[in-house]
Amino acid sequence: MLLFHLSEHQTEHREDSGQFTCPECQADTTYDLYRTYRHTYLMILIPIPIHSKHLFGERLRCTSCGASLPITALAIDAPVVSSATGVGREAESGISNNLGNVIELSETAAQEILRRYFSGNFQGKPVVRITPPFSPNESYMIGFDYALADGRDWIGESRGIGIVVDHRDTALMLGRTIDFRDGVFCERTATTKSA
């Protein structure tokens, strides 16, 4: 009888570096990007890789103060994505090609997200994935997530909250402001802007 099982382990590698303003020490300095990969092996008598590595996490390390920071620390000064033609494209290699503010949060939406975040006892800086409604009568879907600069998402920031938007959804959401009204996340309208 052959006994086998699946085994997983993680490895972390320094893969990139660049310039930024550290939110911890406020220095204009450099960062190192570390990526964590999850590897899966089939264990019979020896470990046999059964598929390639998968990106599992990312973190920045400030070279001045040594602080470990989420990838969204680079999105604080990210420009607003302005081109509807290029917004749904696949990202090019490099972190900067994944950063851009597609949408904004109203103060009310940000407060509700933070209320849910802190009542859920999550750790670290809040990051939300925002998905457009399937039909005009439905609300935007907001869920807590991790920001990974893997080419599938735009990573932005609004009111101190990291925002992740799938490249395929960005054309529908570009330039919108998400509000929280009557118990749902919805698009802010002209009447709520003036209120």
Give the pLDDT of residue 188.
87
pLDDT of residue 195: 43
SS3 79: coil
What's the rounded Cα separation, in Å, for the pair 152 and 154? 7
pLDDT of 194: 44
The phi, psi pair for 168, rounded to 5°, reads: -70, -20
Asked if residue 81 lies in contact with residue 87, where contact means CB atoms within 8 angstroms, the answer is: yes
Where along the chain do its domains lie? Answer: 5-69, 76-194
CA triple 133-184-169, angle to 5 deg: 25
Report the C-alpha gap between 171 and 151 in whole angstroms.
16
Residue numbers in the chain where pLDDT is lower than 50: 1, 192, 194-195
Cα 50 vs. chain centroid, distance in angstroms?
Answer: 28
Domain 76-194 CATH class label: mainly beta
What is the phi/psi pair of residue 4, to 5°?
-145, 160
Question: Which of 76, 94, 78 is CA-nearest to residue 17?
Answer: 94
> At 73, is the secondary structure helix, strand, or coil?
helix
Whole-number pLDDT of residue 1: 45
Pairing assessment for the beta strands 161-166 and 127-131 based on DSSP bridges: parallel
What's the distance, CA 150 to chain centroid?
10
pLDDT score, position 88: 56
